[in-house]
Amino acid sequence: MAPLRISFFIRYVYDLLPSNANLVRWGKKDDPTCPLCQGRQTREHVMSSCKVALSQGRYTWRHNRVLQELASVISTAKGEIHPSSISSTVFTTEGGVKKWHGGSITINTHRKGLLDGCDEWERHPDVIRKTALRPDIVIHSTSIQQIIMVELTEPYESKMEEAHAFMEGK
């Protein structure tokens, strides 16, 4: 890990980043409010709770990055992309290969994956309505009459229960 990343991580964990609330505590600033929403600008607020930044899409990068990885794994499992053309990932795929830091380790699994048994998967079928409440990934097979939906949530650690309740309501 790069030295600046380690420094940021340590300062983040111990709440030593220069948020407005910390700058007020250290006597460097008089106003602890967020310039976007006028709420108290704490570490948690900066990282995931500012409603204005959330509505502007400033927190979606991590979510979209994880979705890209999932889409590439699904495409590989479907045979659309050759596995060697995808960078290594840090999780176990349904095919039983765990890629870790550039190396591959074969894991003996006899479990079939969700995509086994059909080669005709459609990624974004027209049978799903286009609304803001739709899942992140939808694949559909008309031959075996199966729909697989994936909804991904990347909450801040202290907001796990709130994110779970939101996803259940969705």
* Winning range, highest mean pLDDT, from 21-30, 54-63, 119-128: 21-30
pLDDT band at 1 (very low <50, low <70, confident <90, very high): low
The pLDDT score that the predictor gives to residue 113 is 65
Name the pLDDT band for 170 (thresholds 50, 70, 90). Answer: confident
Q: Kindly state whether residues 65 and 31 are assigned to the same domain.
A: no
- My answer on whether 89 and 65 are in the same domain is yes
Residues 26 and 66 in one domain: no
**How would residue 104 be classed by pLDDT, with cut points 50, 70 and 90?**
very low
Name, in order, each residue with C-beta under 8 angstroms of 1's C-beta and a sequence gap of 6 or more.
Answer: 9
Higher pLDDT, 55 or 110: 55
Instruction: Pull the structure tokens for residue 42.
Output: 């704490």
Do 160 and 85 share a domain, yes or no? yes
* Domain housing 126: 61-169
Given a cut of 60, whether residue 124 has pLDDT beyond it is yes
User: Quick one: 116 and 138 in the same domain?
Assistant: yes
Do residues 41 and 73 share a domain?
no
Report whether pLDDT(27) > 90: yes
Task: Tell me the pLDDT band of 60, cut-offs 50, 70 and 90.
Answer: confident
* Same domain as 7, residue 69: no
Mean pLDDT, residues 39-65 taken together: 82
Mark whether 51 and 69 lie in a shared domain. Answer: no
Domain count, the chain: 2
Question: 126 with 162, same domain?
Answer: yes
Grade residue 111 by pLDDT with cuts at 50, 70 and 90.
very low
Lookup: tokens for 103: 């190396």
Tokens, residue 53: 């930044």
Per-residue confidence (pLDDT) for residue 29, from 0 to 100: 93
Q: What are the residues facing 100 on neighbouring strands? A: 103
Ramachandran quadrant class, 60 (left: phi over 0; alpha: psi -120 to 50; beta: rest): alpha
Are residues 127 and 88 located together in one domain of the fold? Answer: yes
Are the C-beta atoms of residues 95 and 89 closer than 8 Å to each other? no
Rounded Cα–Cα distance for residues 53 and 34 (Å): 10
The pLDDT tens digits for 141-153 are 877 778 888 887 7
Does residue 118 share a domain with residue 145?
A: yes
Provide the pLDDT confidence category of residue 41 given band limits of 50, 70 and 90.
Answer: very high
Over residues 45-65, mean pLDDT? 79
Under a CB-based contact definition with an 8 Å cutoff, are residues 153 and 169 in contact? no
160 and 91 within one domain: yes
Give the mean pLDDT of 46-50: 82
